Amino acid sequence: MNLLFLNPINRSRTYLLLLLFIGCWTSLLGKEKQKPNILFFLAEDINPYLGCYGDSVAMSPTIDALATKGIRFTEMYAPVGVCAPCRSSLMTGMFPTSIGANHMRTGGGPKARPYQLPSYQVILPEEIKAYTEYLRAEGYFCTNNRKTDYQFKNQLTFWDECHGEATWEHAPEDQPFFSIFTYLESHEQKIWESKNDTLWVKPSEVTPPTIFVSGFRRPEGLGNHVQ
């Protein structure tokens, strides 16, 4: 066994260093316990038509300002091309085809009623959790304002609050929060509702994408560009 003997001066210095070390370590532990608060703003169907992605027509100064202070992702891909199945992936991190959520709200709609098809909802396997369940397990107060539409039932374990008035302001004091707000104004159905409104931008001012895949109907204003 090795013994270390210190003279009074060295001993005092050693104790001082130990106290400094313990103080720094305690400070670091305190910082580790301080989890960041998270705000999640979601706008649907906007695609990359934003100024921060180089679009010369879109007017998005607030989002552009946020992009200059944050991280802008340039390699983004939707797992499926329709909203509800895509939201199932957003909540679980799984491909919709892996959890049976790839069919857009099968049954239950007006066209399905004559055939008496029941509305279909995915039943998630027990081992598949929503990401908010992991956040709640880590002590987060999670709120959703307010859209769900995941192709599976919105479970009570997903959120502490889930309604039109849900907000981080209802979180207990000193508890970290995760709050998501979904803006429905950009949903594609709003385009149909405003089809007779005055256009802010003339179609002639819009540069169409290099590769444009047309549907069954040729988009108005892009007829000369679609081959």
For 54-76, how does the pLDDT look when each residue is reduced to its tens digit (9 = 90+)?
Answer: 988 888 999 999 999 999 998 88
Residue 81 pLDDT exceeds 50: yes
**Banded pLDDT at 4 (limits 50, 70, 90):** very low
Q: What ranges do the domains of the chain cover?
A: 77-188
**Banded pLDDT at 105 (limits 50, 70, 90):** confident
Phi then psi for residue 35, to 5 deg, are -75, 145
| Cα separations in angstroms, 174 against 99, 105, 114, 200, 219 | 36, 40, 54, 45, 52
Cα-based angle 30, 31, 37 (whole degrees, multiple of 5): 120
For 199, which DSSP code?
P
Contact 128, 94 (CB under 8 A): yes
Of the two residues 198 and 96, the one the predictor is more confident about is 96
Bridge partner list, 40: 180
Query: Catalytic positions, please?
Result: 83
Q: Please name the residues in contact with 142: beta carbons below 8 A apart, sequence gap of 6 or more.
A: 132, 135, 136, 158, 159, 160, 161, 177, 178, 179
Dist. CA 227–CA 213, nearest whole Å? 9
Rounded mean pLDDT, 165-179: 97
Which two structure tokens, joined as six digits, stand for 172?
A: 């207990």
Give pLDDT, residue 205: 80
In 3-state terms, what secondary structure has residue 12? helix
Contact 148, 156 (CB under 8 A): no
Whether omega before 105 lies within 30 degrees of 0, making that bond cis, reads no
Bridge partner list, 187: none
The pTM of the full predicted model, rounded to 2 decimals, is: 0.75
Contact 131, 157 (CB under 8 A): no
| Cα separations in angstroms, 134 against 14, 96, 130, 158, 178 | 43, 20, 7, 9, 11
Provide, rounded to the nearest whole percent, the portion of the chain with pLDDT above 90.
Answer: 43
Residue 139 pLDDT exceeds 50: yes
Nearest to 142 by CA among 156, 128, 152: 156
**Banded pLDDT at 214 (limits 50, 70, 90):** low
For 9-38, how does the pLDDT look when each residue is reduced to its tens digit (9 = 90+)?
Answer: 444 444 444 445 445 544 555 555 789 999
